[in-house]
Structure 1
Amino acid sequence: MTRKDQIGQIFRFALVGGVNTATFFGLYLLLHPWMPYFAAYSLAFALAMVGSFFMNTYFTYRTRPTWKKFFLFPLTNVTNYVIQSAGLYALVAWAGMDTRIAPLVAAVMAIPFTFLLSRKILVPGSRSAAAETEQGQTRTSSTV
């Protein structure tokens, strides 16, 4: 995979994240008048996660969906939540960051982890970008 391909995946991942966030919020607003807010939140979250799975499968990583990938994909959300929560706590308690800004910083800090895990789940056998770049450089230098 070339550096250009990797950057394209990252860009598509970010785009899917934006579309997924808007989808979640739109679904929440549509469902909220007909059910309690937490039920609307939970259903919108689940539907958006399914949508995110298919958008990331077909658009971000351009791979084939499978049941195994589908059932493993929620691990990306769990990871995202844990990293954001730990980051939020650290930024507020240890770094003294404003509680209105810290969630945004924590969310941005979680993106690389979520990207790598989603790629690992949706593109089996994929390695990190650094490993692929290093291997490509080794092949290039050994052929020279």
Structure 2
Amino acid sequence: MQMKHISNRLDTDKRERIGEILRFGIVGVIAALLQYGVYLIMLLFMSPGIANTVGYIISFIFNFFASTHYTFKVKANAKRGIGFALSHVVNYLLQTVMLLLFIYIGVPKAYAPIPMFCVCVPVNFILVRYFLTKRSKKTF
């Protein structure tokens, strides 16, 4: 009851932004767990970089549909798909660099994705939100 009272005092735009962030968090956790699970399985058969790539591709597919339909509540189309893919190219490159960096500094291969996600998820939110909603002039 208390939370509803607080949320009623927020204007509609701020409530929607908070909702986006919460929905992004839910989708992001599921996508990260999916990617991490695939990474751990693939790590048994291949190098960390390739294992991360396989996990990323599977997570990417889930993430696109969940982000358009659930997080940002927009219709999936080619323009948004291209923008989403571009934002994820940047995110994928950042993830690859961060993963290899954490492994290089001594984080075990099985745990290196955890700090990688801590760095990359906030960057990904900003990029995906921009490309899916094109409301880049507004601040969060």
Range class of TM-score, shorter chain: 0.5 to 0.7
Residue 119 of structure 1 deviates from its aligned partner by 0.9
Please tell me whether residue 127 in structure 1 is matched to residue 136 in structure 2: yes
User: TM-score of the superposition, structure 2-length normalised?
Assistant: 0.61
The correspondence of residues 1-144 of structure 1 with structure 2, limited to 5 A, is 2-24=13-35, 28=38, 45-84=56-95, 85=97, 89=101, 99-100=107-108, 103-124=113-134, 126-127=135-136, 129-130=138-139
Structure 1 pair 54–86 and aligned structure 2 pair: CA distance change class (3 A): same
- How many aligned residue pairs are there? 121
Farther-moved stretch of structure 1 (79-88 vs 103-112)? 79-88
1:13–1:60 contact (8 Å) kept in structure 2? yes
Task: Name the SS for the 2:136 alignment partner.
Answer: coil
CA contact (8 A) 1:88 1:103 kept: no
- Structure 2 residue runs of 5 or longer lacking an equivalent are 1-11
The 10-residue stretch of structure 1 (40-49 or 51-60) with the greater mean CA deviation from structure 2: 40-49
Task: Calculate the TM-score normalised by the size of structure 1.
Answer: 0.60
The separation in 2 between residues aligned to 1:44 and 1:102, in whole angstroms, is: 14
Q: Could you give the per-residue CA deviations for residues 75-111 of structure 1, whole angstroms, max 9, x where no partner exists?
A: 232222333425974x798xxx763577533421222
Distance 1:80 1:129, change over 3 A: same
Structure 1 residues 41 and 105, CA, compared in 2 at 3 Å: closer, same or farther? closer
Name the CA shift for 1:104/1:51 in 2 (closer, same or farther; >3 Å).
Answer: closer
Using the alignment, how far apart are the partners of 2:93 and 2:82 within structure 1?
Answer: 19
Any stretches of 5+ residues in structure 1 without a counterpart? 133-144
Q: Distance in 2 between matches of 1:102 and 1:43?
A: 16
| 3-state SS, counterpart of residue 127 of structure 1 | coil
Q: What is the letter of the counterpart of residue 112 of structure 1?
A: P
Identity of aligned residues (%): 23
Q: Is the 8 A contact 1:23 1:48 kept in 2?
A: yes
